[in-house]
Amino acid sequence: MKKNHLITILLTAIALFAALSCSRQAHVLWQRRFDTGNADFGSSVATDGRDIVVGTTRRDTLTVRQHTGWQLLRYDQSGNLAWQHAFDRGRFDSLADIAVAADHDIIALGHTGYGTALDPTRLLLARFSAKGDVKWQKEYQFGSITKGVAVRLDTIGRIWVCGSVATASDRASDLLVARFDSLGNLLDSVTVDFGADETGQDLLLVPSRVGALVFVAGLRTPLPGKPDTLKTGSIAVVRLDPDLHEMWRWVYHWAGDGLSGQLSWQGAVCLAVTLRKDSGVATHLVEHSSGDAGYYPQTNQEADYAGASNANCAGLVRDRSGAILGVGAYGPNGQQRCLGWRYFRGKFTDFLSGSKYAAGANDRADALALDADGNLVVSGVSETGGKASILLLKLALPRHKPPPDLWLPNMYR
């Protein structure tokens, strides 16, 4: 009897501890705002495990013909600014994404050009040292309009880029995936056409024994005047093998107009979609299998985020516990607040909310990354009085027990 009573007490204590653990919220370790003196918009963040690199696009408002440049910032793990570097060539250069290599070099991706016949839009890729010095910068033209959106590094240091490419004749874009060596030399590339206007959204590389598993997400929009079974925007996902050969493609379409899609990996492919509905902007999360051995992916689960109204998702990552973390913004335009949520075993939990945190009159989170200690770094933009500045947050996440090994696919066992 005493033994059964003791077991009951232990089980109750374990259940109570688990409940308290799941209810804990992340807290802000530190926050930084950086004002370049010009109009800042958009941001990307990456980490080498300790130091944090933030990239953004700066608009020069002082010249007659506005031009844009890149702004790179490096912070240590305590939030001290190590250096800042303005990559300004006096042209229209827009930054899309950054990544940090194993040697602590910084890879930055964007595009340059005004999109005219004399100055077509080209892919812009650059490599900076750990101190911010330019090692090389190169431009690539795959069509009349070539834009980059995501950059990733594989385990042997090759640079993978996702974006879109369009021709001057129809201006309809196709998805672009390109692979470069560590010196920026183009190795190979492929375009993917879904029969509409496709713009790249995100790129996911998953290491495996046969090379990187490649997943690309794009926004598919019907072309004006062309018959299309899908009348609104949808999210298209394609899987490529390590040699860039297409394995399968899938189009996700829900009630609402697709706006963007973000990818992550949890033993399966996770896709967060931002939709425009009659009630406003909403976030939808779907998880499906990787579609191995020539099979199409099978949907495992789907869920709608309902924690805040008019919420979008701008970044996605998986933490050590196997949970999916997403960041973005919610609220009406001009009065937005940063948003961060955690999805684990069928439930959403907010870990960053404007009701508890606000930096300016209009804030939004653009990107996120995990450091070596499992802390979350979030970059975004904060606006007050019509002036924008770079926003950087470091958050301590609640600790959760990792999922059992049976959650992982066979190739990782």
Dist CA 306 CA 313 (whole Å): 13
Provide DSSP, 228-252.
-S--S-EEEEEEE-TTS-EEEEEEE
Could you tell me the pTM of the whole model?
0.85
260-413 maps to which CATH number?
Answer: 2.120.10.10
Q: Dihedral sign for Cα 18, 304, 220, 312, please.
A: negative
Q: What is the pLDDT of residue 20?
A: 43
Contacts of 69 (CB under 8 A, 6+ apart): 57, 58, 60, 86, 87, 88, 89, 90, 91, 93
| pLDDT at site 21 | 45
- Looking at the DSSP assignment, which residues form a beta bridge with residue 85? 72
Integer Cα distance of 392 and 357 in angstroms: 13
Tokens 């933490």 locate to 319
pLDDT value at position 204?
93
CA distance 399 to 408: 20
Q: In a structure prediction context, what are the per-residue pLDDT tens digits for the chain, which is 413 residues long? A: 555 555 565 555 555 444 444 445 678 899 998 876 665 566 799 998 888 998 887 765 544 456 678 888 999 999 999 998 888 776 788 889 999 999 999 999 998 887 666 668 889 999 999 999 999 999 999 988 899 999 999 999 999 999 999 876 666 889 999 999 999 999 999 999 988 888 899 999 988 777 788 999 988 888 777 766 666 788 889 999 889 999 888 888 776 677 788 888 877 888 888 888 776 788 888 888 877 655 677 778 889 898 888 899 999 998 888 889 999 999 888 788 999 999 988 899 888 876 667 777 888 899 999 999 989 999 998 888 777 788 899 999 876 555 443 333 332 22
Domain extent listing, the chain:
260-413
Distance separating alpha carbons of residues 374 and 376, to the nearest angstrom: 6
Cα separation, 35 vs 30, whole angstroms: 17
15-24: list long-range contacts, CB under 8 Å, 24+ apart.
21/398, 21/399, 21/400, 22/344, 22/349, 22/398, 22/400, 23/349, 24/398
